[in-house]
Amino acid sequence: MARHFDEQKLVIASHNPGKVREIADLLRPFGVDVVSAGDLDLPEPEETEDTFIGNALLKANAAAKASGLPALADDSGLAVDALDGAPGIFSARWAGPEKDFMIAMKLVEELMRGAEDRAAKFVCALALAWPDGHTEVFEGTVAGDITWPPVGDKGFGYDPIFIAEGETITFAEMEPERKHAMSHRADAFRQLVAACFQSS
């Protein structure tokens, strides 16, 4: 049985404004006051784990311990079939120290050159950690294909080159509400909400 979340304030353990905005939007219906790790000047822990869930737990626990508040961390990325699941947990690192995702997207396309298989998926692991050390974890995915060149300016990260299954436009071309309804983050959030935010 998952622990029910009944606190008033939650730290989003991220320094990525796009990710913070998306998570805050998804949490809005529950009336939780959210603050980002960046706003609190919390240090960004080094992501040393080899899975999305491992890194999400690492970030959530670090933020909860440093802030004394419950913390929600997301570790997500793009896994491309033709690249044996890369960039995977290194998705953000492919964008370099300046977090320039155009560099990362170009690298994906260069490495895929000649590949007939364009299938990929976004993966999102969510970890909710309390200051007492209790944690809950959830993982969501959305399948699709890589397209080129990048299209759209509404998303962030690899959104401009990803078209979800059954869609004809990239995540970066979609209105946020439409993306939220189908994304990997939305999938993980549905599990989180059912387990921790809805009364039994």
Residues 4 and 200: their CA atoms lie apart, in Å, by 9
- The alpha carbon of residue 36 and the mean position of all alpha carbons in its chain are separated, in whole angstroms, by 14
Q: Which of 6, 41, 74, 75 is catalytic?
A: 75
Residue (of 63, 55, 48) closest to 12 by Cα position = 63
| Catalytic (active site) residue 39 | no
Tokens 């209790």 belong to residue: 134
- Exposed (0-12), middle (13-18) or buried (19+): which is 54, by Cβ within 10 Å? middle
Could you list the active site residues? 75
